[in-house]
Structure 1
Amino acid sequence: MGDFGCNMSFALNSYLMLFYTQYIGLSLTTWGIIILLLKIWDGINDPIMGGLMDSLKPGKRGKFKSYIYFGSFLLVVSGAMCFLPIPNAPYWVKVLVCVVGYLVWDMSYTIVNVPYGAMNAAISADPTERAQLSTYRSLGAFLANVVIMVALPIFCYDKSNNLLGNRLFIIALIMGVAAFFAFQILLRGTVERVQVKEPAESERPKYNYWQALAGFFKNRAAVGTTIAAMASLVMMSGLGSATQILFQSFFQNAQMSGLISFISFVPMLAVIPLIKPIVKRFGKKEASTYPLLVGMVAAILMTFLPIKANTNGLIVWVALSIVISSSYAIFAMVGWAMVADCIDYQELKTGRREEGTVYATYSLGRKLAQGFGASIIAFLLMLTGYISENGAHQTMEVANNIRQMIGYVYLFGLALMFVFLKWVYNLDKKAVANMEAELGRSNTDLVGQAKEED
């Protein structure tokens, strides 16, 4: 439910570029600069939150839950602030509303998301159980994205494939309420089992963020999975808006974009029952890495095949999209479990358990990828000849350029993921087993018993 709540708020980001460039009237250049700067702050924000959690004594709800509880109230309205319908306002007001609205939402999201993500390592230390937890997280995110991918295009585009931006404010408010209830279910249904004995206040070591950060960058596993996640996010988040533009201008059926995107992500749903046996047999690293080679072949075909703007071309595009999404489906499902392993690895190397800092620094990388991804896609769209003021009515040459650009980005992202998972991330199946043994943990005595209230 936590990922369902996070993504009910976060997934609307895929509409931000369209909202501010096609409906509000910001130029692509202005949007690209704004979102890059905002995402840099967004990334810095996460380690601050992580350091705060690691330096303060846990509250009565535990180390993480208090932050999630209070942040969930802020998320109800902050998402809607990003979609205030002001197309006739002066240009400087549009820029100000964009910046302030995003900053308020970002801080609210960080208060919830960083503790939620770090809590994954505190629920279980068993590698297989962590993979299952990661799978359920991905399932929650998938369900939220299904709602947004399939339902929103039906309500947000007219018959001429133009964006109905005035509707997004109410939609964002509804999503915020849904996210709030999802977080309340999360808080009542989870227990922090993996606990490190807290020293007395007088014996509590002074928290050193820079020391913890240095430990992160010496952590090969953390660096490898962070770069791989950044590459996947450039593809998933950065290309979200570009794909909608493709359906507006190339296939000329924007309302179908959500359904087609859903079909492309079905393989992730199909993989869920197989995650546990696959991870148990091969390990998380091994199962995540080699399928990427198949995705790279599909990305090459997507880029260079002469795909036409007709039904047959749409079928080819969807088929290749399915292959690409299938190639990184396992990583998408077990990525969070790999981060939990990175937290254990840092504890093994440094003697300190710093869930908040490790997760938040990982999250910083994700946020930077989202920022650079959105900015890079905006500037790449300009290179294709795309004119945002024309909305759905681009020339066929421009529309075809956009199609090829999407293929190139997929190819680059998948190649980067393969390199960093294969040669940088160093926690294969055997290494994880040895690490947990060195830490003296097993599924039963890793943490001890659940709290009495369970």
Structure 2
Amino acid sequence: MNHKVSLREKIAFALGDVGCNFIWTVVGSFLTLYYTDSVGISAAVVGTIMLITRILDGVSDLGMGVIIDHTHTRWGKARPWVLITAPLMGIGLILTFSVPNWLSENGKIAYAVVTYILLAVIIFTACNLAYSTLTALITGRQDDRTSMTSIRYILVYAVMILISYTTMPLVEDFGWTGMSVIFGIAGMICLLITFFGTKERNIENKKNTDDNISIAKSFILLLKNKYFIVITILFVVNFINMGLTGGVGIYFARDFLGNSALYGTMTFANYIPIMIGLFAFPGLAGKFGKWKCMLVGYILEAAGYLIILLAPTSFPMVLLGLAVRGIGHVPNSAGIYAMVADVADYGEWKNGIRNEGLTFSATSFGTKIGTGIGSAVVGWGLALGNYVGGATVQSASALESIKALYTYIPLAVTLVGIIAILNGNIDKIYPTIEKDLLERRKSKE
């Protein structure tokens, strides 16, 4: 349980999320634009596709959590699924961004639905949930979990910046399909490094007596874990906002700031403070606790949205607001994943049953439902504002919708996050949890 993780293994672990984001950041930031402006699907239909798919996706997360908990191989519980899905992630991305031009309007919609469900509901769910579960399986040390997630997000935000600057130039040079081939291969390679560079150790019993627990009882116990409910809400909050700002960000840059190429700089201003802050986060979390850091983080994120609202057409003010929001997001990106591992420990401590896969379904469930709602609201909001795909100039109502999607709505969602985190301080009891679990496991040796 208390194995010290090497820097090399932490980096190998972190590259798995880099691989996931070569797929998912492209989908979250550019798929709506691809569907509306290149394929010609209406924004309202796009929003509906996003929401329905992500609801199905959220259900599949729970099922995949059970599958991981009942997986036992010489590679462990989660790593085999990372290996299996690594090439499928690239293939799914390529298919999603390759809607045939010769299809009818309804044919294009049907193709979009099928390929998006394949990627999001099946492939990405299996891959990302297995990857996230590794946080608890690699080590039981709380400090290592925090540093692992910090390194993870330093690299993730670096690749997000890369994607924000390079996606549209790659599309111009190679088309949407060519771009997806490049990012799909990169994602596959990173995930394979995670498989070969990590090891599962924090397993209570390789035979895992939890297999005797029914699926229904596992769900009941999970829903009685109040920290699981809180962490799920926080994931939904975080990823609604990521779905909103990521999906409408390029529209905001083009129609409010006058140049879509500024989207890369906006992403840079938001993510560089996060990357720098992640170096300091393990020390801050060790001194003040993850919970306090996350509470302050949500307050700063709200302040960032307010700054943008003061002058939404001023590039310097937008960059300032994004930077403040980025600083606030530091604990809410690294801290939240480390906290899920703590929630898994709490479940074992409270009920004597350790279901990492099902507990970590909160991460994937919240990711999918959150980004699904965020992406759907982007599509519906654009449609409500009478956005016209491909138009040189948008109407006043379309511009107002873009502003609301980028500022007002994320601000309101962030306030929900503040309320949720106030009800989820697991830090105050975690030292007791850690001590008791260590004693239990020693007594079984």
Do the structures match in fold with TM over 0.5? yes
State the one-letter code of the partner of 1:325.
Answer: G
CA distance in 2, matches of 1:63, 1:306: 50
Contact 1:125 1:446 in 2 (8 A): no
| Residues 248 and 447 of structure 1: CA distance in aligned 2, closer, same or farther (over 3 Å) | farther
CA distance in 2, matches of 1:328, 1:121: 22
CA distance in 2, matches of 1:118, 1:447: 24
Q: Any idea what the Cα deviations from partners look like across 1:259-305, whole Å, max 9, x if unmatched?
A: 221222111111122112101101111111123223323323423x2
| Residues 280 and 188 of structure 1: CA distance in aligned 2, closer, same or farther (over 3 Å) | same
Q: Any idea what the Cα deviations from partners look like across 1:192-229, whole Å, max 9, x if unmatched?
A: 121212348xx774342222222222212121122112
Matches within 5 A, 1:179-190: 179-190=187-198
Q: Any idea what the Cα deviations from partners look like across 1:34-74, whole Å, max 9, x if unmatched?
A: 11111111111111111112123x11111111111111121
TM-score (norm 2): 0.90
Report deviation, 1:380: 2.0
* Structure 2 partner of 1:393: 393
CA distance in 2, matches of 1:292, 1:196: 35
Contact 1:153 1:257 in 2 (8 A): no
Structure 2 residue 281 is matched with structure 1 residue 280:
no
Out of 13, 16, 20, which is 1:2 matched to? 16
Out of 162, 180, 185, which is 1:177 matched to? 185
CA distance in 1, matches of 2:155, 2:215: 32
Q: Which runs of 5+ in 2 are unaligned?
A: 1-14
Contact 2:158 2:271 in 1 (8 A): no
Report deviation, 1:357: 0.7
Out of 75, 80, 90, which is 1:66 matched to? 80
CA distance in 1, matches of 2:399, 2:384: 12
Report deviation, 1:153: 3.1
CA distance in 1, matches of 2:319, 2:210: 56
Structure 2 residue 79 is matched with structure 1 residue 78:
no
* Structure 2 partner of 1:160: none
Out of 109, 114, 131, which is 1:116 matched to? 131
Structure 2 residue 26 is matched with structure 1 residue 12:
yes
Matches within 5 A, 1:73-112: 73-106=87-120, 107-112=122-127
Out of 190, 199, 215, which is 1:209 matched to? 215
Structure 2 residue 398 is matched with structure 1 residue 384:
no
CA distance in 1, matches of 2:436, 2:86: 38
Report deviation, 1:143: 2.4
Q: Any idea what the Cα deviations from partners look like across 1:357-413, whole Å, max 9, x if unmatched?
A: 1112442122111111111122222333422352x5213563255224421122112
**Helix, strand or coil for the counterpart of 1:290?**
helix
RMSD: 2.3
* Greater alpha carbon shift after TM alignment, 111-120 vs 395-404: 395-404
State the one-letter code of the partner of 1:38.
Answer: T
Matches within 5 A, 1:368-379: 368-379=369-380
* Structure 1 partner of 2:153: 138
* Structure 1 segments of 4+ aligned residues over 6 angstroms from their partners: 444-448
CA distance in 2, matches of 1:239, 1:187: 31
Q: Any idea what the Cα deviations from partners look like across 1:393-443, whole Å, max 9, x if unmatched?
A: 2135632552244211221122111111112x1302x3111111121269x
Q: Any idea what the Cα deviations from partners look like across 1:229-280, whole Å, max 9, x if unmatched?
A: 2111111122212111111222221122122212221111111221121011
Contact 2:344 2:354 in 1 (8 A): yes
* Structure 1 partner of 2:430: 432
State the one-letter code of the partner of 2:294.
Answer: S
**Helix, strand or coil for the counterpart of 1:388?**
coil
Out of 25, 33, 37, which is 2:48 matched to? 33
Contact 2:297 2:332 in 1 (8 A): no
- State percent identity of aligned pairs: 21
CA distance in 2, matches of 1:317, 1:59: 50
